[in-house]
Amino acid sequence: MYAVTVFTQLCIYAVLTLSLNLITGLAGQVSLGHAAFFGIGAYVVGVLTTHGIPFAPAWLVGGLVAAGFGLVLGSISLRLREDFLAIATIAFNFVVVAAFLYLPYFGGAYGISGIPKPLGNAGFPLLVLATTLGVVWFHERARASDLGLAWMSLRESEVAAEAVGVDVRRFKVTAFVLGTGLAGLAGGLYAAYIGVIRPEDFGFPLSVTLLAMVAVGGMGTLWGPLAGAFVLGGFAQAFAFVHNYQLVLYGLLLALVMRYRPQGLLGKLG
Amino acid sequence: MTVLEARNLTKRFGGLVAVSGVHLRVDAGELLGLFGPNGAGKTTLFNLISGTLRPDEGEVVFYGEPITHLPPHARARRGIARTFQVVQAFGELTVLENVLTALAHRALTGWLPLGRYDAPVRRRAAMELLERVGLASRAGERAKNLPLGLLKRLEVARSLALQPKLLLLDEPLGGLNLRESEQLLEVLLALRGQTTMVLVEHNVRMALPVCDRAVAMDAGRVIAEGRPEDVRRHPQVIEAYLGEGEDA
Amino acid sequence: MDWQTLSALAADGLAVGSLYALTAFGLTLVYGLLRVLHVAHAGVYAAGAYAGWLAFRGGGGLGWALLAGAGCAVALGLLLEWWFYRPLQGRSPLVALIGSIGLFVAVGDLLRILFGPYQHSLPVLPPRTVVGPVSLPQLVVVAATAGLFLVVYGIATRTPLGVGWRAIAQDAEMAAAVGIPLPRYTQLAFALASALAGVAGVLVGVYYNQVYPTMGAVPAYKALAVVVLGGLGSPWGTVAAGLLLGVVESVAVAYLGNRFPPEGVAFLAMMLVLLFRPQGLLTAEPQG
């Protein structure tokens, strides 16, 4: 049973890192606020299912709402240079968490509890697995497609991408919408899986963790983000006894990998 | 037939007038050379034609259609290709993938173009282009590992992948040694007649002889136009270059 | 609102704003030179605060605490410049940013492991009022900040170092080409930035009478907001923005109380500036 729990958690991380990889690894747009979209998907499911709406539509709505906010952030990103964009995404994360804390219907600091888990303890992990496989499939499809190549070209040189006919603005937005929408779906799964969600679960530290997973694993590839998710995510789960030293080890790991192997443990980007 | 016409283009940056009332005409099949000392406005003019910059006054007309307000990617899709003064290769992509980016442009419609970018048809076309510029043997290498001379050729191949009706070359010989310059010029000469080209070049000695027609600029204005030999001997042109110690 | 309350708010706002300015100044200075957000700067700040506390524990007064704080911060800052930022200079700024965040997290947690997760008090100054509603800590903070920035101003305008920094910030290649020694000037910038942060850390500890491991977190975020408001790369804009933010926050907390988190002011202002005036409130030309 414990193995299933860990596995479910790791799959959710995997969906998150792959979705972030679309935005940051492939399209090169720094997002330090990805946890916010995870939270939006989670809260939509949390609010809707605790008011009687069945999981399936709530889940999809969660993904769509997250993608909608992703559209906003994507549009904002068009006006900002790389470093400003990073800051803007951080600010966005804080604003979203503040919204969860202070707006009505979200339960304030206590969050939302009693979120029902569909399909029972046997069926739900299968849903998570299926979703993960679906996201992997989509990620690989995108990476091998004209869209993926357009993303990578604008990541490397926006001006050259424009010169070969890539509508840089449009595809930046596409990256955000797709990446955040998938994060929203991950959020819906998380809410149902864990049953209780609180604003601080979706804060900046999680965004940093996700970016770290992608960066340490290796941005832009398939196995990089997956490795990052499983290694860093599994790290926390498996070594509960290092819980006291988790942050310092984790921070050092980040610093060391960036310092000595910036392309990530498995990646090609440098 | 007139491929491109720039009418009364003016561009200011704050108090500086980079380009002032420039008229330019490019005819089909010709290789037009654009010369002038540093700061004459040549690259700005290129940026106005390619769409990277919008003019404060004037218009750009391509095959009779005004394109002044089209963004660069739209102009690229209509057939205006360009290379950059500071090479802009896609560093992490392979040489082959660099060319494939341009070959994908027709398929980039809508918001989710999910067709494979390396379909066999495209790979073949890309390899052909690489052969034309002599880079076929390096197709699998990451572009960031290539020396400057080869990157300049890669940019040309990438531009040709657009099947352009107009190719703008911004200082293609910049940073190249003699041998590399000769090799690149060979590539360009092979295109003569089929592709309409405009060449901005600082290295007047090597570039002027290959042009069909020349235009000289200084301080944002066109100061001479006509056959290369005539432009070279034009008193204002000589003076403009003497002012920076260049021999024409 | 009466005069008494207003001047109390102003005093608090200026003091807090001074602390923001001291912290954020270094961040902008480093950004101007390296084009990287030195998030670990907040870790340097926290380390400085703890060093000051240790000095106080060892029997020292305010002066020793400040010296210890500045010294420790400078040492740490220079170490980071040498080990981490310099080797990563050619790389994508994203690499340095992520690593810097890791360093910040690690330093903060290391402080917790070494000194415990509790707050420690730093009662170096009695909180009594001195002039009207202005308290001694407030006076010390503002005076120290003013003094330090006077020195910095002198360095910036009258020494080749200041000229060099401006040149490097504008065009690093050109600056190197005309003979400005980039590595040494960068080190000196880190030293100055860290010294200011260390002093700020100690002063914060004194002002709020507490040092704790995660005390770098809020300044990290606030410093980002200040830097954006003042204009990324504009050191004096940052100073002005820091003071402004301090005052606005004081007033906002007084008026809005519980209905709006005080951090929200900084972030809201930051988002608005990013959207409508990304070059900052106080710089003239858009930077890019």
Q: What is the pLDDT of residue C19?
A: 92
* Residue C286 in this model has a pLDDT that exceeds 50: no
Residue of chain A minimizing CA distance to B107: A146
Residue of chain B minimizing CA distance to A219: B92
Residues of chain A with pLDDT under 70: 235-243, 266-270
* Residue C100 in this model has a pLDDT that exceeds 80: yes
Interface test with A, best of C34, C85, C94 (most A CBs within 10 A): C94
Q: Rounded mean pLDDT of C73-92?
A: 92
Q: Rounded mean pLDDT of C169-184?
A: 87
User: pLDDT band for position C136 (50/70/90)?
Assistant: confident
- Contact criterion met (CB < 8 Å) for B73 and A166: yes
User: Is the minimum CB–CB distance between A244 and chain C shorter than 8 Å?
Assistant: yes
Indicate the residue of A159, A165, A170 with minimum beta-carbon distance to B105: A165
Q: Rounded mean pLDDT of C144-163?
A: 90
Q: What is the pLDDT of residue A208?
A: 83
The residues pairing with B19 across neighbouring beta strands, listed in sequence order, are B11
Q: Rounded mean pLDDT of C20-24?
A: 92
Q: What is the pLDDT of residue B26?
A: 94
Indicate the residue of B82, B112, B113 with minimum beta-carbon distance to A163: B82
Range 12-31 of C in CB contact (< 8 A) with A: 31
Q: What is the pLDDT of residue A81?
A: 78
Q: Rounded mean pLDDT of C52-69?
A: 90
* Residue C178 in this model has a pLDDT that exceeds 60: yes
- For residue A200, the SS3 value is helix
| Cα four-point dihedral sign B171, B172, B173, B177 | positive
- Contact criterion met (CB < 8 Å) for A164 and B111: no
Q: What is the pLDDT of residue C117?
A: 87
Indicate the residue of C106, C268, C274 with minimum beta-carbon distance to A84: C274
Q: Rounded mean pLDDT of C160-181?
A: 87
Q: What is the pLDDT of residue A216?
A: 83
- Give pLDDT tens digits for C101-111: 889 989 998 99
Q: How far is A68 from chain B (nearest CA, A)?
A: 15
User: pLDDT band for position C282 (50/70/90)?
Assistant: low
Q: What is the pLDDT of residue B28?
A: 92
Domains and CATH numbers, chain B: 2-242 (3.40.50.300)
Q: What is the pLDDT of residue A267?
A: 63
Residue of chain A minimizing CA distance to C92: A270
Q: For chain C, give the percent of residues with pLDDT over 70.
A: 95
* Residue B247 in this model has a pLDDT that exceeds 60: no
- Contact criterion met (CB < 8 Å) for B76 and A156: no
Interface test with A, best of B92, B100, B165 (most A CBs within 10 A): B92
* A152 within 8 A of B94, measured Cβ to Cβ: no
- Give pLDDT tens digits for C192-225: 999 999 999 999 998 888 888 888 887 888 888 8
Chain A partners of C260 at a C-beta cutoff of 8 Å? 102
Chain A partners of C261 at a C-beta cutoff of 8 Å? 98, 101-102
Closest CA to B154 of B87, B217, B105, B214: B87
Q: Rounded mean pLDDT of C135-150?
A: 89
Closest CA to B83 of B29, B30, B133, B16: B133
User: Is the minimum CB–CB distance between B209 and chain A shorter than 8 Å?
Assistant: no
Q: How far is A100 from chain C (nearest CA, A)?
A: 13
Q: What is the pLDDT of residue C50?
A: 94
Query: What percent of the residues of chain C are helix, what percent strand, and what percent coil, each to the nearest 5?
Result: 75, 0, 20
Q: What is the pLDDT of residue C287?
A: 41
User: Is the minimum CB–CB distance between B132 and chain A shorter than 8 Å?
Assistant: no
User: Is the minimum CB–CB distance between B118 and chain A shorter than 8 Å?
Assistant: yes
Chain B partners of A264 at a C-beta cutoff of 8 Å? none
- Contact criterion met (CB < 8 Å) for A152 and B92: yes
Residue of chain C minimizing CA distance to A214: C98
Q: What is the pLDDT of residue A239?
A: 58
- Give pLDDT tens digits for B2-26: 999 999 999 998 888 999 999 999 9
Closest CA to B67 of B6, B22, B19, B109: B6
Please write down the HEC assignment for all residues of C55-98: HHHCCCCHHHHHHHHHHHHHHHHHHHHHHHHCCCCCCCHHHHHH
User: Is the minimum CB–CB distance between A208 and chain C shorter than 8 Å?
Assistant: yes
Q: What is the pLDDT of residue B67?
A: 94
Q: pLDDT: is B144 or B193 the higher one?
A: B144
Residue of chain B minimizing CA distance to A147: B113
Residue of chain A minimizing CA distance to B78: A165
- Contact criterion met (CB < 8 Å) for A208 and C83: no
User: Is the minimum CB–CB distance between C33 and chain A shorter than 8 Å?
Assistant: no
Indicate the residue of B76, B93, B114 with minimum beta-carbon distance to A147: B114
Q: pLDDT: is C123 or C1 the higher one?
A: C123
Indicate the residue of A30, A76, A90 with minimum beta-carbon distance to C94: A30
> What residue type is assigned to position A135 of the chain?
V
Token pair for residue A233? 């995510």
Q: Rounded mean pLDDT of C3-17?
A: 85
CB atoms closer than 10 angstroms to residue B168:
26
User: Is the minimum CB–CB distance between B54 and chain A shorter than 8 Å?
Assistant: no
Interface test with A, best of C109, C222, C245, C285 (most A CBs within 10 A): C109
Q: Rounded mean pLDDT of C265-270?
A: 79
Q: What is the mean pLDDT of chain B?
A: 90
Residue of chain A minimizing CA distance to B113: A147
User: Is the minimum CB–CB distance between B182 and chain A shorter than 8 Å?
Assistant: no
* Phi, psi of B225, rounded to the nearest 5 degrees: -155, 140
* Residue B108 in this model has a pLDDT that exceeds 60: yes
Residue of chain A minimizing CA distance to B50: A163
Q: For chain B, give the percent of residues with pLDDT over 90.
A: 61
Q: What is the pLDDT of residue B234?
A: 87
CB atoms closer than 10 angstroms to residue A236:
15
Give the CA distances from residue C32 to residues A174, C18, C165, in Å, rounded to whole numbers and listed in that order. 32, 21, 8
Q: Rounded mean pLDDT of C41-70?
A: 92
Range 221-240 of C in CB contact (< 8 A) with A: 221, 224-225, 228, 232
Q: How far is B114 from chain A (nearest CA, A)?
A: 5
Q: Rounded mean pLDDT of C34-39?
A: 89
A-B contacts (CB, under 8 Å):
106
Comparing A110-119, B28-37, B59-68, C134-143, the range with the smallest average pLDDT is C134-143
CB atoms closer than 10 angstroms to residue C244:
20
* C193 within 8 A of C25, measured Cβ to Cβ: yes
* C273 within 8 A of C257, measured Cβ to Cβ: no
* B35 within 8 A of B215, measured Cβ to Cβ: yes
CB atoms closer than 10 angstroms to residue A259:
18
Interface test with C, best of A72, A254, A257 (most C CBs within 10 A): A254
User: Is the minimum CB–CB distance between A168 and chain B shorter than 8 Å?
Assistant: yes
Range 78-97 of C in CB contact (< 8 A) with A: 83-84, 87-88, 91-97
Q: How far is C264 from chain A (nearest CA, A)?
A: 7
Query: What's the rounded Cα separation, in Å, for the pair B171 and C47?
Result: 52
| Beta pairing, strands B166-170 & B196-200 | parallel
Chain A partners of C102 at a C-beta cutoff of 8 Å? 212, 250-255, 258
- Contact criterion met (CB < 8 Å) for C95 and A215: yes
- Give pLDDT tens digits for C185-197: 999 999 999 999 9
Q: What is the mean pLDDT of chain C?
A: 86
Q: pLDDT: is C287 or C185 the higher one?
A: C185
Residues 6+ apart with CB under 8 A from C107: A251, C40, C43, C44, C46, C47, C76, C216
Comparing A66-70, B17-21, B136-140, B242-246, the range with the smallest average pLDDT is B242-246
Closest CA to A269 of B161, C98, C1: C98
